[in-house]
Amino acid sequence: MALNVVLYEPEIPANTGNIGRTCMATGTRLHLIEPLGFRLGEKELRRAGMDYWDQLDVTRYADYEEFLEKNPGAKIYMATTKGPRAYTEVHFEPDCYLMFGKESAGIPEEILHDNKETSMRIPMLPGTRSLNLSNSVAIVVYEALRQNEFSNMELTGHLRNYDWD
């Protein structure tokens, strides 16, 4: 199983760093669609991603069209506050792409309009603008992993000085 997270024009380095760490912890590939609102070498990005950033499977694209060209036939689910269904109503394939928009504006409506059948939302109380981007990514990634039985993931933890017996 190899999920893919796609960030459309991310603006805040700390969010992208946190998302990178989530991707490392879950074996998820990260795709960044430019323009980015920061340089990838910024200390905030590395701090949030900790020492994992250099090990991350990350690909950058000049724009959305290049992303589509280089990933033909990809099943792309669009996470948006404008989505017609909850993310829990979606069946995620093991190698699907989970796309999230930039912090200030989300995914452009013309892209969403063309992808109604794969657009989804995280339920929130009325009047709530949105969740933090890195939190949204974690919520949806872990639902996709749960649906695929956490393939290749460690499911139990261990105490250092005791047994769980």
* SS3 call for 26: helix
Q: Please tell me whether 106 is known to bind a ligand.
A: no
Cα–Cα distance measured from residue 165 to residue 157, given in angstroms and rounded to the nearest whole number: 13
Q: Please tell me whether 130 is known to bind a ligand.
A: yes
Comparing C-alpha atoms, which of 94, 78, 71, 72 is closest to residue 149? 94
Q: Please tell me whether 101 is known to bind a ligand.
A: yes
* SS3 call for 55: helix
What backbone phi and psi angles, to 5 degrees, belong to 107? -85, 135
Q: Positive or negative, the Cα torsion across 63, 44, 139, 106?
A: negative
Residue 162 region by backbone torsions, left for phi larger than 0, else alpha for psi between -120 and 50, else beta: beta
Tokens 């960030």 found at: 7
Q: Residues within the annotated binding site? A: 101, 122, 130
Q: Residues within the annotated binding site for S-adenosyl-L-methionine? A: 101, 122, 130
